[in-house]
Chain A
Amino acid sequence: MKRFLVWFLPGLIIGALLIIGGRKALDKTSTNEYCMSCHIHPAADNSWKRSVHYETQSGYRVACVECHLPPKGKGYLWAKGTTGLRDLWSYWTKDSASFDWNERGRLEHARIYTYESSCIKCHENLFPLKLTKAGEDAHLYYRQTKKTPDLHCINCHLNAGHYIEGYTHGSNKTFGSVSSSPKEIFTEPVKVAGFASFTEQIPNSSVSFKMVAIPGGKFNMGSPDDEPLRKADEGPVREVEISPFFMAEVEVTWDEYLAFYAQTAAEGKSSDTELMKSKRQLEADAISGATPPYGQPDQGWGMGKRPAISFTYHAAETYCKWLSKVTGKTYRLPTEAEWEYSCRGGTTTPYFFPGDPEKFEKSGFRAKLSKNDTAVINSYIIYRENSPSKTQEPSRVKANPFGLKNMTGNVAEFCSDWYQPDAYSNYSEELIVDPKGPDSGEEHVIRGGSFLDMAGRVRSAARNQTRTDDWLKTDPQIPKSIWWYSDCFNVGFRVVCEFDEKTGKL
């Protein structure tokens, strides 16, 4: 008995101390001050202090761990342990000042460190009495799709925990209305005689842009089987002949797009519902342009010469129709074949500049080890490694052999073809002339990769497709906009202008 007491009592006491101490340690390491002792990010601290979570209506202050760790009993300890270890590693090995905190605050990154279960823990009732009409629709939608792992509360409530300057999750009626300083206003489109590069002028605006004459020719479309990082949809390689045409030197800029928006934007929101309106004849002639966007289409990165983003495929097509109308020429989206022909500019390598995709693709630690020289790729395109995480002006890069800039990288580009993974194998093995892609489909081709893509996805032959449902996921409007994507900010387009070899007409 004595022996038992000798061993048991101290055990009991130590155990009790451990439990109490452990709990104390847990509490102690869960305070805001403790978090901030290692997480040195003054910008994030300040934006938290300006957010609605810092000063809630009830006066409660939401702590770091209440959003950035799951609720207790739902993986709290595990998450605390693993993130704690990773934080220690970062603390010792990295310089927090070198992080791009703006990028970290963006949805893709924020959702990794914000737990939906923690949102729900406090915001239990998704249908409080004070919920607005727009909120009702949005929460009904969330309720229907809540099992979709990629719809998170912060898809719409991104600024709840950290204030974001200029963040709007509402109809942005004043978008694009800021007029720039007065410049020459073009009254006429430019007159073009013959097949030579020209600078188009958009009438009733001060906007002009360069169109490059692309001579006709033959090329091999697609990538050979042995091209590094190639995907199956890039083959089999087909020999293609392309007739001469003009292609815009750069992706359609915000300046260009806003000229269209200003001249055509519909007042308020016109209904997109066809159903009951089948009898109402739409005016065949007038081009009704985009409605005001929801949120901030330029992502706050600035407009001007940066490529326009966030607009829908339908909007891009409408832009081309409008541009054709005001210039008297025939503008449209390029076919996928025209696009790749223009991109290659006579090259047959993975890029229109020298380099091995596999070497460029390496990043971080591996890149340092292999001492990659990325100077070449950096000088030609904006991709994941040099963007940093946003679009850039075309002046940042050098042109391709045809004189076109950002054919790959910066933003991906809409093409007129329907996307099918096996589109090339459905083409004849003989020489094909000006192919236009499959007759029908669900989604369209996008080409060129973007500032979000690694080197492998910005090869000349890389193909991709639109994802309409995903790109409208958080648009809470009923019906969803046909003009603006709520969840896509890395796709734009480039116009081509047709040229009739027989008549010389554009």
Chain B
Amino acid sequence: MKKSSISRRNFLSKSAVVGAAGVVAPAIISGCSRGPVPFKPVPEGKWLDEAPDGPVLKAGVIGCGGRGKGAAVNFLSAGPNLQIVALGDTFRDRLDDCKATIKEKKGQEVPEENCFVGFDAFQKVIDSGVDIIILATPPSFRPEHLAAAVAARKHVFAEKPVCVDPTGARSVMATALKAKELGLTIVTGTQRRHQRNYVANFTQVAAGAIGEIVGGNAYWNGGKLWHTPNNPTWSEMEWMIRNWVNWTWLSGDHIVEQHVHNLDVINWFTGKHPVAARGMGSRQRRVTGDQFDNFSIDFVFENGMHVHSMCRQINGCWNSVSERIQGTKGYTDCAENLYDLAGTEIWKYAYPLDDEGKPAKGKMKDPYVQEHIDLVTAIRTNQPFNELENTAISTMTGIMGRISAYTGKETTWDEMMNSDLKLGPTVFAFGPVDVPKEVPISGEAYVEKK
């Protein structure tokens, strides 16, 4: 297991790759201060506010829902000479909506002959003569779409998470390595890795600002997410896909679908992934589907370190979407601040100033655009950048947590790497869907002894 984990050095070299592309400067490894030397911040890297110019890059969007629409606009905002020339979705209305948005916001018209609808739309988009594929369908389809895009030697922007089960995770890991061998660039929607305050904070932590990392917390406690009520004209398949954030086989459950952001930050900062999960969770207020609406997982790392993760989608509770990492010399919120062990702030991210001359978070480059700037920059400067394997590992981390909560048992990374679990139906067609629909119940029922 240790060999697969991504070492901090790997992460550093990755930052260095991007740095060489002019996005983040690599001056990181210098100041590993020991003893009571006052903390000296490491200089931050330089960021590009826009990708460099170059020949036209054409992208096709697969999955035209809310995120696909958003990613399309983000992509077109990343720099000059960028086009969206093909769209694919299971549903025509979603595709039309995306098409209209691109026209309205960016003035580009996607030609009708490049608009594809149906379960096989993805391959048609890939084959439509594009350079970049934007994948934003529900994550259950991602492993197949990623494999097809890489087989066609396309650069990819893939939304997180990148799979919903261990079989999918291994497939994506292999696809990531194939893409690496081919020199393809793949950016995934774990945008904290492209968020300037996070990257600056990581730079300090990697340089030893809080000492050795000894533990942490990850939170995605928020309100109820959306659901789509049934419509009598829809088949079961259509309703499930339109309501995908409520079905485990489509989304991976919210610990995978949403909380993967925070788990990815933990893996990023620690340079490791957990080797076991001991979790619990339940369903209290979710309206549709088969998912839980709360998880609490104790993640165990190889060196005995524990990180606690908590996620919830219930209205009217304590909310926080954040991470906290504890080191031997202090702790960090992974974003704006570093503190010493006494809780005194030792570093604060310098946000750009607003009109009144005050630091304003809102003035920081939108990370959803930044990730596309990084994507286009890597392609145009011919410095391949591939974060897919990291995201597969973080997605697998969430899957391991989910299974541990569903079963009420400790679940190990080894088990995940050796599991043949594959969710979802074997055939994709509109009609009834042959999947288990009951909400998982852990443990054994009490039986009265006679």
Contacts and interface: CB of A to CB of B under 8 A. Distances in A.
Interface of A: 125-129, 131, 133, 136-137, 139-141, 143-147, 271-273, 275-276, 278-279, 478-480
Interface in B391-450: 403, 406-407, 409, 411, 415, 417-421, 440-442
30 contacts: A126-B177, A127-B174, A127-B180, A127-B181, A128-B181, A129-B151, A131-B174, A131-B178, A133-B171, A139-B174, A140-B4, A140-B170, A140-B173, A140-B417, A143-B3, A143-B4, A144-B3, A146-B3, A272-B420, A273-B419, A275-B419, A276-B403, A276-B406, A278-B407, A279-B441, A478-B167, A478-B170, A478-B418, A478-B419, A478-B420
Given A127-B177, A128-B178, A129-B178, A271 B420 contact: yes
A136 B174 contact: yes
Contacts of B407: 275-276, 278
B97 to A, nearest CB: 35
A144 B4 CA distance: 5
A173 B150 CA distance: 33
Contacts of A140: 4, 170, 173-174, 417
B181 A275 contact: no
Nearest to B150: A129
B112 to A, nearest CB: 32
Contacts of B3: 143-147
Given A144-B1, A276-B406, 12 more contacts: A127-B177, A133-B171, A136-B170, A140-B4, A141-B417, A143-B4, A145-B3, A146-B3, A275-B415, A276-B440, A278-B407, A279-B441
A7 B174 CA distance: 62
A143 B442 CA distance: 34
B225 interface: no
A127 B178 contact: yes
B167 to A, nearest CB: 8
Nearest to B441: A279
B287 interface: no
A145 B418 CA distance: 14
A143 B176 CA distance: 13
B76 to A, nearest CB: 30
Contacts of A146: 3
Contacts of A147: 3
A278 B177 CA distance: 33
Contacts of B418: 478-480
Contacts of A144: 1, 3-4, 417
A272 B174 CA distance: 23
B35 to A, nearest CB: 34
Interface in B170-189: 170-171, 173-174, 177-178, 180-182
B412 to A, nearest CB: 11
Contacts of B180: 127
B147 to A, nearest CB: 9
Nearest to B182: A129
B420 A273 contact: yes
A127 B182 CA distance: 10
Nearest to B4: A144
Contacts of A478: 167, 170, 418-420
B181 A125 contact: yes
A272 B4 CA distance: 24
Contacts of B441: 279
Nearest to A145: B3
A141 B182 CA distance: 21
Contacts of B419: 273, 275, 478-479
A127 B417 CA distance: 17
8 shortest A-B CB distances, which residue pairs?
A136-B174, A127-B177, A127-B178, A144-B4, A479-B418, A125-B181, A144-B3, A273-B419
Q: Which of A125, A126, A127, A480 has the most CB of B within 10 A?
A: A127
B151 to A, nearest CB: 6
Contacts of A129: 150-151, 178, 182
Q: Which of B3, B171, B420 has the most CB of A within 10 A?
A: B420
Given A128-B181, A129-B182, A133-B171, A276 B151 contact: no
Contacts of A125: 181
B302 to A, nearest CB: 13
Nearest to A136: B174
B390 to A, nearest CB: 15
Contacts of B403: 275-276
Contacts of B178: 127-129, 131
A273 B421 contact: yes
A390 B447 CA distance: 53
A224 to B, nearest CB: 42
Contacts of A480: 418
Nearest to A276: B421
Nearest to B180: A127
A266 to B, nearest CB: 15
Nearest to A137: B170
Q: Which of B4, B418, B442 has the most CB of A within 10 A?
A: B418
A275 B1 CA distance: 20
A136 B169 CA distance: 12
Contacts of A131: 174, 178
Contacts of A145: 3
B439 to A, nearest CB: 11
Nearest to A147: B3
A131 B181 CA distance: 13
Contacts of A278: 407, 442
Contacts of B421: 273, 275-276
Nearest to A271: B420
Interface in B152-200: 167, 170-171, 173-174, 177-178, 180-182
